[in-house]
Structure 1
Amino acid sequence: MNLFQKFGQHADLVSGMSDKLGVDWAEAFEAHPDLAARYRSAVLNCTHCQKTGECQGWQKGHAHADHAPDYCLNKGFLEDLAAES
């Protein structure tokens, strides 16, 4: 997998996890214009995860969740955003 494919895969995982937690990105970006840099950092952080397959399976098995799995490297960030939505 090349670098851009890896970034794309992890951007999809961050986006998917956000959806499951109920993050409203349009609202979040409006409230926090500097959030784009934090989103990029979350995607980069996700590329270090060793549980990509587990995360994909978890997302497929959850239409909605109140909390990200404990192994999620962006758990706190995404849950904080979801609480604001």
Structure 2
Amino acid sequence: MGWFNKLTERVDLMGEMFAQTDALRNFDSFGPTMEGQLRNAMYACAGCQDTEKCKEWLAEGRRHAHPPRFCPNAGRIREFRSLS
């Protein structure tokens, strides 16, 4: 898989992970640091070694879920969810 295909796959996985965990439910209140936070999340996802585990977890179609422990963005997702 070429680097561009890998990157787009990971961005799609990250988007679905954020959707299933409601990570961006309070997006409008995140403020000016959000761009950097999302960039860091993308880098963490791009470097993740658990892609297949992630795909399997996402395939279950959870809603309002807690992020899985293996996700490198689990802490960031919990932080995003706590913002109001």
* TM norm structure 1: 0.82
Partner of 2:40: 41
Partner of 1:84: 83
Q: Which moved more, 1:69-78 or 1:55-64?
A: 55-64
Cα displacement string for residues 4-47 of structure 1 (whole angstroms, at most 9, x for unaligned residues): 2111111111111110111236x425532221121111111112
> Counterpart amino acid of 1:63?
R
Could you say what secondary structure the match of 1:46 adopts? helix
> Counterpart amino acid of 1:55?
C
Whether contact under 8 Å (2:13, 2:55) holds in the other structure is yes
Q: Percent identity?
A: 25
* Structure 1: runs of 5+ lacking an equivalent: none
* TM norm structure 2: 0.83
* Matched ranges for 1:56-67 at <5 A: 56-67=55-66
Could you say what secondary structure the match of 2:71 adopts? coil
| Aligned alpha-carbon RMSD (Å) | 1.9
* Structure 2: runs of 5+ lacking an equivalent: none
Over 4 Å off, 4+ runs? none
